[in-house]
Amino acid sequence: MISIITAIYNQRAVNELYWESLQRYTHYPFELIIIDNGSTDGSADFFESVGATVIRNHANFSYPYSQNQGIAVARYPWLAFLNNDIIVSPDWDKHMLASMEKNGLDVATVCGIEQVENATATKALKRRWKKIKNLLGLFGHSKTILRLMHKWMYGDWETFCQTRQQKFAGQIKEGFVGNSVVMNRQAIEKIGLWDERLQAADFDLYLRSKQRAEQMGDMKPIHLLLDVYNHHYIRLTAKSKYPPFADRANLVNLDNKWSEAERSALLQLNR
């Protein structure tokens, strides 16, 4: 059973599409924990209406702070930290857990537009998505337009995902795509909670997994599961004016925790 943790701030149309894809394509029983950071468009009410557990914050909190709020109430042994602006693939959870078990991973991510099996394939996906998003984005970001973007990008979504699953079944690649991170409770025991000082907390999590693997040898670094692909709308509403983070005084740059030399040394390991 899986605890899915998602932080939101408005984006009602995106949230409804996200829920529809979870309902349709999640294989195992799950609980959905929504961290609502002060939405004003009814998004929190929507998620409550479909049975999600909603934690209502009085203001907009950072990503890692929100994820740790979710962990504090999560009930299940597997934790999935998913962005709200994604469309999950058919049986995404079933394939993720199977590949993680096969490859001995405590923490892993899907692949997607941001990174797939090689640089050439990734570049082609990014180029195609940019053209589609820029063109259809001129007509707004309604559910109809968002669905059309997704359709133009992939054609038949289930066929696209099935083809990748068959081609890359069980294959992994070291790295991460931050919109969909899955870990078990053992991973938290080994590398800790999300670091609430860092908005770039997914990169920090990757570095900590690399460090733990090198120093203790009791886990592997975060890997991409090449047979599981989630669509990410990627900064679709980047021009929106989000309220400043309520915990912004606690946030520091990644450089304040990891020096360039430390990052370089870790990234060179096993390359």
**What percent of the chain has pLDDT above 90?**
94
CA angle 92, 17, 64 (to 5 degrees): 70
pLDDT of residue 241: 67
If you write DSSP's letter for every residue of 110-164 in order, what string do you get? Answer: EEBTTB-SSHHHHHHHHHHHHHHHHHHGGG---HHHHHHHHHHHHSSHHHHHHHH
Please say if the pLDDT value at position 237 is more than 80.
no
Set out the domains of the chain in order of their start, with CATH numbers.
2-124+155-268 (3.90.550.10)
pLDDT of residue 235: 81
**Integer Cα distance of 161 and 245 in angstroms:** 36
Give the per-residue pLDDT at 270.
Answer: 59
pLDDT in tens, 64-115: 999 999 999 999 999 999 999 999 999 999 999 999 999 999 999 999 999 9
Grade residue 242 by pLDDT with cuts at 50, 70 and 90. confident
What pLDDT is stored for residue 103 in this prediction? 98
The rounded radius of gyration (Å) of the Cα atoms in the chain is 18
Segment 153-179 shows an average pLDDT of 97
What's phi and psi for 132, nearest 5 deg? -65, -45
Provide φ and ψ at 81, rounded to 5°.
-100, 100
